[in-house]
A and B are shown apart, each in its own frame.
Chain A
Amino acid sequence: MLVACVAWFVPYLTRERENVAGVPVPPPFVAQVPVPVKPGSEACLSEVAFDRDAELVELVSLTAPRPRPPMEIVARAPGYRETATVPGADEPLTGLYAQIDPPEQSVIGTLCIRNRGERRIDLLGTTDARTAVGRPITRIDGEEVAPDITVRLLSSDPGSVLERLGQLVDRAAAFKPGLFGAPVFLWPLLLLAAIGVPAAAVYSIVSSFRDSD
């Protein structure tokens, strides 16, 4: 157990990781689908949850290596509006990041992407039965389109699992009823699992040897 702790658990729990603040539409499971956004057009995703740590909007461009046009990202919800720009560029980037200020309170709103350039951009989308069945609906210039644009919201503050344990427990408490949805219940449960499971197993085998003597 000590070997596992030193060689596996500690590196796993202390490694710095990307801090995902929400995934309105995940990347496709089966096949990539381009969602073309023409110059001047606006693609919007409805019913996106913006949490208090949503600081980066991540989109994926499929038009590399062509130069990509600048884009304007607008996150809006009742009492919340944030605008960010992704400048156009020549380098063949696929991941596009727009920095926004997160809302003070978690809100449900709309995320819009406007093409401010003179060239079309193809964004990564999904139509497969596994990943295109989420809550947000994608509309381009008000017209619903079949593929949903893949979007992730990230926190700019990465950190290891151990450093962010409180945040992870809060997330695990969501959508759980009554006491089970209370972090004060989940914390002792996690401690019980981490300490109680090994302790009970070790006690059982040690006491069994004593009883066998």
Chain B
Amino acid sequence: MGRWLAKLRTVPRPLAALLAMATIQVVAWSLILPPFQAPDEESHFAYVQHLAETGEAPEYSGGSGRSYSTEEGEAMRWANLLVLRGVLGARPDWAPAAEQRWHEVEASLPDETSSDGDGPNSAGQNPPLYYALGAIPYHLSPGGSFFNRFYMTRFASALFYVAAVVFMWLIASELFRPVWARTLATGIFALHPKLAMLGAVVNPDTLLVLVWTVFIYLGLRIIRRGPSLRRLTCAGAASAVSLLTHGRGLAILPALVVLLGIAYLRWRPPARQALLGAAISLGIAAAGLAVAGVFTSGVSGEGAAYGGVIGWAESRTFNIREFLSYVWQFYLPRLQFMQPSIGVPGYGFREVYIQSFYGDMASLEVQYPRFATDLLQAATIVLLFGLYTVAVTRLQAVKRNWPILAFLLLTGLSMVGALHVSSYTTMLINPGDPVLTGRYLLPLLSLLAIAVTVVVTALPRRLGALAAGGLVATGIVLQLSGLGIAFVRFYA
């Protein structure tokens, strides 16, 4: 106990404050957002429940026709949660009489009504790791009532968010010497409103954010301090966890290969040691892939676990010119010789990198006002100019740090590229659904925090301090306004 307390005392004060802040935020989001009002939360919780109750994942397209258990359905019915999702005119039922009736209904439900949600479940395509971890608080929840189990699962998931904040601090500590720069990077990460909201709900994206943040930290350690067997094993394990968490986690494989390549070029270890390290790292990742493959075998088609990405290899209609045109038009205006892009017209950089990356909370209906989105977009463009200016004015530093920059850049591109390929192949089947939204970029949030901090640290000290204060203040405003808008949307 004494040793733990002594260790706790070594936690830097700014980090301790940020962790306290992150905890308050995530608990507030957990309790303000009514159950099942985050993206697909009813499906994710149904997966947790079915796995916890039966030891089996629900089916993606089969099953007895129940997407969630009878118990979950009754809870949603009495709390008016099913019609609430994304419908601004709806409200949860808060009448004491409805809650009392729910308690009576719950008491009368037979045990098997907790375990009959065997599918079809749209989350059934996902690998089981996150849900298996969710089954632990599900079983440990005191009292055993449905909403007890639900909120315990939410709170446990919130731990992934808080842990990700810790790893963001470790990343910043690898890259920045001044404590204020580490604090700024971690503050930007922790105050990101969409991440805090996502951390508060039942959704495997939070674990994906954590594992990518861990992977980036490990990658930086490997590049800066050398590819020890232990570090390579950990990087392989992080990759395996990513693969076992979500189909989008597949994008970590190219990043791992890039990491190994850069580490080799940077450190030039003896051939045998290099091969052993690579074999262990890739072997663990491959094992993760195999296990995920076993769990998701038989799942295919639009939106399947790897359906979007692996579907690329299977798809006969994949057209590289059309794909490149789509990617161009996603970010930039269409050129004269280009055909109109596949998919939803006008759905591009602003909608994904700004609007739904920072906002569009709950079931997308809790939105920041337009002026806030405009300001965030302008700030993002300023950031890009700032990065370019820093790169040009500090070319020597860029050349000296090329392994770190290449690793960060290619890791980001790995995820973004996979998302675009997945989105394009999905839109070949259903052009109305791009399957690409801002929260899919959150595993790369640490890269944004690093980029912002690089620009701020390049400013003269006084100006840098002002910019850091301004950025933290902006994060606070976004966080509190997000919470406030959600509170008013559901309860006013």
- Where the two chains meet, the residues of A that have a C-beta atom closer than 8 Å to any C-beta of B are 1, 4, 8-9, 12-13, 17, 19-20, 22-23, 25-27, 29, 49-51, 105-108, 130-135, 152, 161, 164, 168, 170-172, 174-178, 180, 186, 189-190, 192-194, 196-198, 200-205, 207-209, 211-212
Contact = CB atoms under 8 A, between A and B. Distances in A.
B93 A189 contact: no
27 contacts: A1-B476, A17-B492, A23-B91, A26-B87, A26-B90, A29-B87, A105-B96, A108-B97, A108-B98, A131-B83, A161-B488, A168-B491, A171-B94, A174-B79, A174-B92, A175-B78, A192-B24, A192-B28, A193-B483, A196-B20, A197-B480, A198-B480, A200-B21, A203-B13, A204-B14, A205-B14, A211-B14
B433 interface: no
A200 B475 contact: no
B178 interface: yes
Given A178-B143, A180-B151, A208-B180, A193 B97 contact: no
B31 interface: yes
Nearest 5 CB-CB pairs, A to B? A208-B183, A49-B95, A200-B21, A26-B90, A204-B17
A106 B472 contact: no
B492 A172 contact: no
A23 B90 contact: yes
B182 interface: yes
A204 B472 CA distance: 10
B179 A211 contact: yes
Contacts of B491: 168, 171-172
A196 B93 contact: no
B347 interface: no
B99 interface: yes
B96 A106 contact: yes
Contacts of B148: 177-178
A196 B32 CA distance: 16
A205 B143 contact: no
A19 B275 CA distance: 68
Interface in B63-97: 77-80, 82-83, 85-87, 89-97
Q: Which size class do B's interface residues fall under?
A: 35 or more
Contacts of A107: 97
Contact of A177 (B145, B179, B182): B145
Contacts of B89: 23, 26-27, 152
B465 interface: yes
B108 to A, nearest CB: 15
B147 interface: yes
Given A175-B35, A190-B28, 15 more contacts: A1-B477, A26-B87, A133-B83, A168-B491, A172-B32, A175-B92, A175-B102, A178-B143, A180-B31, A203-B14, A207-B13, A207-B17, A208-B14, A208-B184, A212-B178
Contacts of A211: 12-14, 179-180
Contacts of B24: 189, 192-193, 196-197, 200
Contacts of B484: 9, 12-13
Interface in B6-52: 12-15, 17-18, 20-21, 24-25, 27-28, 31-32, 34-35
Interface in B139-154: 142-143, 145, 147-148, 151
B97 A202 contact: no
B199 interface: no
A196 B99 CA distance: 31
Given A108-B97, A131-B83, A175-B99, A197 B182 contact: no
B323 interface: no
A106 B95 CA distance: 6
Contacts of A152: 89
Given A177-B145, A190-B28, A105 B97 contact: yes
B183 to A, nearest CB: 4
B162 to A, nearest CB: 13
Contacts of B98: 49, 106, 108, 174
A13 B151 CA distance: 28
Interface string B110-148: 000000000000000000000000000000001101011
A202 B180 CA distance: 12
Contact of B97 (A13, A26, A27, A49): A49
B303 interface: no
Name the residue among B18, B97, B488 with the largest chain A CB count within 10 angstroms.
Answer: B97
Nearest to A8: B481
A183 to B, nearest CB: 11
Contacts of A202: 472, 476
B143 A196 contact: no
A174 B91 contact: no
A27 to B, nearest CB: 5
Contacts of A133: 82-83
Contact of A197 (B14, B15, B479): B479
B97 A9 contact: no
B39 to A, nearest CB: 15
A5 to B, nearest CB: 9
Contacts of B183: 204-205, 208
